[in-house]
Amino acid sequence: MVKPLPLRVCVLLLLAVHFSTQDMVTLAPSEAEAGDVTPVSTTPLKVKPTIRSLHITSDIKYRYATTLISSRMVNPTDQAGEAVFYVTLPESAFISEFLMEVKDNVYKAYVKEKEEAKAVYDQAVQAGQFAGHVALDARDSNQFSVSVNIEAHGKVTFNLTYEQLLSRNLGVYTNTININPQQIVEDMSVTVSVEEPSAIKDLEVPELQISNEVVVDKPNSLAKIEEKSPNHKVVVWAPTPEEQKSQNSTGLSGQFVVKYDVDREANPQQILVDEGYFVHFFAPENLPQMKKHIVFVLDYSGSMGGRKLEQLKDAMDKILSDLGPKDHFSIVVFQSFIEAWSPNAMYRSSIEHLSRWELETRPDIINNVTLDKTFVIEATPDNIASARSFLGNYSDLGATNIMGGLRTGLELVSIGSDLWINESDPPQPVVVFLTDGQPNVEEYNTDAIINKTKPLNTKDCPIFSLAFGYGADFNFLRKLSLSNYGFARNIYEAADASDQLKNFYKTISSPLLSNVTFTYLPGQVDNSSRTKIDFPVFFKGSELVVAGKINNDEIKDKETIGELSGLTANGFQKFPIVIDIIPIPLKPENRTLGHLEKTWAYLTIQQLLDKSDSLDDSNERNQTKKEALKLALQYSFVTPLTSLVVVKPNETEAAVDTTQVKPGSNDMYGIGYGQQAAIASSFGGSGGGFASGGGAYPMAGFPAPMAPSPAMFRPQLLSTHIPAAQPLPANAGDSDVFEESAQMDLVPVKITLDDVEWLHPQLENSTDSDSVPVTVDGKQYNLGLNQTDQSFGVCQVNGKVGECHHIQYCALDVFQIEVSFYLPYQCPITGDFLGVCCPQDIS
């Protein structure tokens, strides 16, 4: 018999998509006690719950957004069931609070250091508790999920708060809220309050965005905008049940978006001061655009074949056409070897890595052309037309020599910079590096590539990396860019991939300042508290933000507190940093933290996490993480270093492992349901809980529309009763030592094709016994039922080597429920057959 135990549920969230380590969501007892558990049922009955109310309030003050999602759920059945609450939140957001209200009792979550929670998870696994998967990440998003058992006809209210600093992109701030209750909700509303220090302009609320690939510009007819003042506007969207049904009979599903900008004519540099903290916003609009030298380093390996290559060619066609007459460009194509293009010559390198057969069949590969200034090309109409023709006709697809591509690209940066070394306004060099796969020629080790690239980047050129599709190693590309003054973005395999590439280029196409430095007077600002003050490039339509603590409590209006310097199109310039006091509303008595302090803490943590990923020295890296961890615990932020520990009532012992999935699901907000787990529990042999939100992989994105998983309750499986948990001790979360998280791998298990639920409609409706058409991620494939089992080449999935087979010969439990789980395992088979990259270590 199981003794009554208070329970803690550790929800470990991967809140930055660049971390590849699988993290855990843990439901575990607060102390280890042994006992017998008697299974009641191994086939849970699924019953749809009812969402009585869904209220979302987003309070934006001075670009800092605090969003509260409150959902009231009821179990309409005569059986106790498990309610699963999951929310898709922006990639850059930190969860700051989670509450559950059950029977007039409020259960509050706590933030703990991740290693402590992992120890609880390991203890839970050793105790033989349930394990399963929870889907994380929609496009540029992350998914939070937690469950609680509710008695028959019982009610529960979930309250989740997350916070983020809105970034400015292409001239607008965008606040995106995911909506997907998967049913008609009687009481639904979204309220967005925007309050800024200067007048709000260009506020837009488009119709609900229901697809990644269709951008909606039409105003939302149901959204009401109230102007409290020029600086304060409130948006309210509260569709009635009838209005919800008119858009979707099964419930609304999409993104509610609010876009706006602020007037900078009166205050070009906005410096806010409140409660000992300052935030400095800098986004000049009147600077002339600098010239640029943009080096495209493009992956033309075999894995880019097909639709991805056509989309890349289409995007490059437009991007090259948009270059300015004073710009220069270079093109580097990498595959098994490296090629740099110019209108009159072709440079090739790394041919020593080619096979004898390749050298014999391609004698033109060997040449004596030197990489020189002729490969730094003026953006004239004739040169642009020639470059478009070269990329459009390029067809040699080989392996993936990333190191060679980066080395050649940075050589061209150096050649260009030396050309303009005596000019007062030299073109700003920029590298755009795109790849869809893993390095497999010359240098295989991604850490070695990063370490070798740094010393090659002698001109401190920003490298912007684009991870194209599911096979790209985003974690590697992010670290590469952070180590080289840039950032990385995902380009998702979808019909709009070409538009994603073009939109990315727009964000970096107009440099206005380079080598920007903010300098503050020591008597006015605590320089030890400042966030980042050096920025390699400022692009038009973006914004630079610096925050910190002030030393002088009596800063006066129009007082100079420092200077800003940088290289402009007119040469090196300095700008005074002058305080223009902007009134901040008086602090309410019940406000424990000011918005500027939260902004400072948020920025500091984000930048410390970025810094840790760019450091080579492990001691320095761990010290940086330790500083971020301390702040995350102090301000109760769920970050990649911290975990959310949820105290839940009346729960059985269970443990749930989380894993990242790729884009494809429509579950942006909603409730999940129980399914069979990949790991059976050690007692009774029954499968564990699979609280599936069906999320998707991770800036300006949206999960692609797929069939949503129905919202369900799962009745309790175990005949135990455990009383409500007690609060954690006051010192919960204290930690003096940070260590790297260990990775926990789950090995997929083979199942039959009939077990793959998302294939059921196609199989049932097909009249062809040989081939069944199946649409996956917007493209039609063939399910070849009578194909023989054979290998179609070596592939890689989740960092493991496998072989490509027809799906019927390697159907796996990990993608049994949702097609989004299948996408990471998909591999190409001639004839557009559905293939699976079958890991070598599966049973």
Question: In terms of pLDDT, which residue wins out, 674 or 436?
Answer: 436
Sign of the alpha-carbon dihedral angle for 408, 414, 418, 422: positive
| CA gap 149, 644 in Å, rounded | 19
Q: 51-60, 352-361, 566-575: which has the minimum mean pLDDT?
A: 352-361
Mean pLDDT to the nearest integer, 387-404: 86
- Spell out the SS3 assignment of 465-505: EEEECCCCCHHHHHHHHHCCCCCEEEECCCCCHHHHHHHHH
Q: Which of 19-33, 49-63, 80-94, 133-147 has the highest mean pLDDT?
A: 49-63
Name the residue among 43, 244, 47, 69 with its Cα closest to residue 711.
47
The structural domains of the chain, with segments of one domain joined by +, span: 9-245+636-715, 292-509, 753-839
pLDDT in tens, 161-200: 999 999 999 999 999 999 988 889 999 999 999 999 899 9
Mean pLDDT to the nearest integer, 464-474: 87
Q: What Cα–Cα distance (Å) separates residue 35 from each residue in 2, 5, 124?
A: 5, 11, 13
pLDDT in tens, 502-546: 999 999 999 999 999 999 988 888 888 999 999 999 999 999 999
Q: Which residues of 726-743 are buried (b: 16+ CB within 10 A; e: fewer)?
A: eebeeeebebeebeebee
Mean pLDDT to the nearest integer, 264-271: 79
Question: In terms of pLDDT, which residue wins out, 11 or 721?
Answer: 11
Identity of the amino acid at 279: V
What CATH fold (topology level) applies to the domain 292-509?
Rossmann fold (3.40.50)
- Would you say the pTM of this structure is higher than 0.85? no
pLDDT in tens, 561-612: 889 999 999 889 998 888 766 666 655 545 567 789 999 999 999 999 999 9
Mean pLDDT to the nearest integer, 110-122: 71
What are the residues facing 7 on neighbouring strands? 29, 648
pLDDT tier at 364, thresholds 50, 70, 90: low
**Residue 153 DSSP SS3:** coil
Identity of the amino acid at 16: A
pLDDT tier at 386, thresholds 50, 70, 90: very high
pLDDT in tens, 744-791: 334 678 888 888 988 888 888 777 767 888 888 778 888 988 888 888
CB 493 within 8 A of CB 471: no
| CA gap 297, 448 in Å, rounded | 19
Average of per-residue pLDDT values in the chain: 76
* pLDDT over 70 (residue 38): no
pLDDT reported for residue 42: 37
Alpha-carbon dihedral of residues 127, 128, 134, 136, nearest 10 degrees? 50
